Amino acid sequence: MDNIQQILIERAEDLESENELKPGGKLMNRNSNKTKVLVVGLDGASLPHIQSLIAKKKLPFLQKMMVAGSYGNLKSSLPLNSAASWASFFSGKNPGKHNIYDFVKFNGSLSEPSIINNNTSKSDLIWHITDKHSLKTIYFNIPIVTESVKVNGIMVSGFATSGDTPFAYPNSIHQDLLDSNYKTDSAPFWHFKADDYFNEIKQTFEKQSNSFHQLIKEHYWDLAIVTFNALSKILQSFGDEQDKVEFFYSLFDSYLQRLFDSIGENTYFLLLSNHGFKPVTKKFFVNEWLWELGLLNRKITTKQSRITDIDEVLFNPNGNREALLTKLLTKSGITKKNIRSILPNSTRETLKQALPLSVRKFFHREYLDIKWGKTQAYFVSENVQGININLKGREPYGIAEPGKEFEQLRDKIISELYHYKDPYTFEHIVEEVHKKEDIFQGENLENAPDILIVPFENNYYLDSNKRTSRMVVGAANDEYPVYGNKDRNGVFLMTGPNIKQGTTISNLTIYDIVPTILHLFGINENKGFDGKVVSNIFSDFEHKDETYITNSIQKEEFVPIVT
């Protein structure tokens, strides 16, 4: 087939899609009962934050929605990161089935991990099901979609899309977005000064939100889903600045009002977040702790030997992070390592405390260079929140034997984690520690970390890097500050024709959302979901045969929210 024929075929597909999308299109296939569902995902939003701002009269729209609908905490999946949780939402399944544990896939000592792609998920996602049932859909800014996907409607991929990859289907939508200077995400914080980064997040959100709003007004749809990660970025980088956090919540509130005003009265409106956020006060340097246990061997280096975050894969990991003064200090031999070599412990610790953070940040950052041939276990990453055994036959330089030695190492690490206490407060560092088979079920269990860690009350940030104090536990606001940690409780808020009003719902999990959305369209299929229809939000719910739900993930009790 020559290039001209290919172009004609692609253009024909575009025209067909456009005809289906436009209200007067001949090929439009509306669902028989005219059900419409609009879903908005706010990465990182939490009910306590929303309720505190409602009490301050800062969120008038969300206040009205909580009176008009049903709401509650939405329990997220483990590990607590946006890739695993959004994949769990879009599939209705746990990571052991859908196979997405993080945005990046890496193995042991490999310093160049790969980003997930559209084939990483091993489960049907909601767009596969809605396409099968001929629903007209708009999926916008979908985090786990890394390039354009043909759907029965519109698909716009999310921030994991590389710069030169087509990010929207059909081609006409892709071109329209390109013409409007649309971008799938902002660059990471180290490319900006603080105020510039705040404005960059705001401008990116405004571009994305306006583009989605325009699409839902101009095209016919039965189901429209959009996600935004701007709030998560604000909480990570400006979590200690309440005015900036409140500004973004208020910005979202105004935008949600605009969206709501654009949809019909009989449309179901669903707001959710994949996880929440809580302030943190401490860091737990897990790899340093493993070194103290004698299970990890390392040296200190100024070169980052392991890349574990998607921003560092998509963007130049050095970026603008290294200031000119840092380079001059290093060239002159004034480094942390050299200072440590000539000063006694007590003197250098006193000197460190005397220097303000603004000065300490000019010294070159130090990393752990793990010596794999003498390492039995290592902390995978802040996102995966787990420890892997350096297993023979699985890891590139594995030394631990499968079977008995593997299990003994896991048992030792779990026991030590449960017993380890903060040397300053004497409180336990971890709240839960799990073997992977106790958390995940499915044919992709082998890709999970061997041990999952849940910090105590999410107060401790699990850090894979070198400690910044003499202790394995240090302050969260050190030279490389962290202001918040992901919390397992996200948000669920839904209004609609037969949704109970002013009702608090408990026992919700992120796996329940897709079965509930499909139920609204009368789609009840055996898809091996780990969730079930949230029946107690409906005023007229009829208990029908729900054999398509497996409930393989044990539900946990929630404390109802009191307003």
Q: Is the bond leading into 79 cis (omega within 30 degrees of zero)?
A: yes
Mean pLDDT of 543-555: 41
Mean pLDDT of 59-75: 97
Q: Is the pLDDT at 79 greater than 60, yes or no?
A: yes
Please check whether residue 396 is in contact with residue 370, taking contact to mean a CB–CB distance below 8 angstroms: no
Q: Is the pLDDT at 243 greater than 50, yes or no?
A: yes
Cα separation, 272 vs 352, in Å, equals 43
Looking at residue 7, what is its pLDDT? 41
Q: Is the pLDDT at 13 greater than 90, yes or no?
A: no
Please check whether residue 448 is in contact with residue 479, taking contact to mean a CB–CB distance below 8 angstroms: no
Count of other CB atoms within 10 angstroms of residue 502: 11
Q: Is the pLDDT at 551 greater than 50, yes or no?
A: no
Tokens representing residue 27 in the block: 């090929």
Q: Is the pLDDT at 375 greater than 70, yes or no?
A: yes
**Global pTM?**
0.84
Give the DSSP per-residue string, 204-263. HHHHHHHHHHHHHHHS--SEEEEEE-HHHHHHHHHTT-HHHHHHHHHHHHHHHHHHHHHS
Rg of the chain taking only CA atoms, in angstroms: 25
**389-410 pLDDT tens trace:** 999 999 989 999 999 999 999 9
Mean pLDDT of the chain: 84
Q: Is the pLDDT at 221 greater than 60, yes or no?
A: yes
Mean pLDDT of 200-204: 95
Q: Is the pLDDT at 11 greater than 90, yes or no?
A: no
Looking at residue 109, what is its pLDDT? 56
* First-to-final CA distance of the chain: 64
Higher pLDDT among residues 138 and 316, named by residue: 138
Looking at residue 345, what is its pLDDT? 55
Looking at residue 311, what is its pLDDT? 79
Looking at residue 363, what is its pLDDT? 54
Alpha carbon of 441 to those of 97, 447, 550: distances in Å?
Answer: 7, 11, 12
Domain boundaries, the chain: 29-279+487-537, 282-321+365-482
134-153 in b/e burial notation, b at 16+ Cβ within 10 A?
ebbbbbbbbbbbbbbbebbb
**Helices of type H across 299-442:** 310-314, 324-331, 336-342, 345-354, 357-360, 404-419, 436-439
CATH class of the structural domain 29-279+487-537: alpha beta
**419-460 pLDDT tens trace:** 999 999 999 999 999 999 999 999 999 999 999 999 988 789
Looking at residue 33, what is its pLDDT? 56
**476-503 pLDDT tens trace:** 988 888 988 899 999 999 999 999 999 9
Among 81-85, 323-327, 363-367, 425-429, name the one with the lowest average pLDDT.
Answer: 323-327
Looking at residue 111, what is its pLDDT? 59
Tokens representing residue 420 in the block: 């380890």
Q: Is the pLDDT at 333 greater than 80, yes or no?
A: no
Give 7's Cβ-side CA count (13 Å radius).
Answer: 3
Among 16-25, 303-312, 534-543, name the one with the lowest average pLDDT.
Answer: 16-25
Looking at residue 269, what is its pLDDT? 98
Helix 60-68 to helix 242-262 angle (10° resolution) is 60
Q: Is the pLDDT at 122 greater than 50, yes or no?
A: yes
Looking at residue 525, what is its pLDDT? 79
Q: Is the pLDDT at 174 greater than 90, yes or no?
A: yes
Give the distance, in angstroms, between the CA of residue 452 and the centroid of all CA atoms in the same chain: 17
Mean pLDDT of 263-285: 93
Looking at residue 548, what is its pLDDT? 37
Mean pLDDT of 197-208: 95
Looking at residue 544, what is its pLDDT? 46
Residues constituting the chain: 563
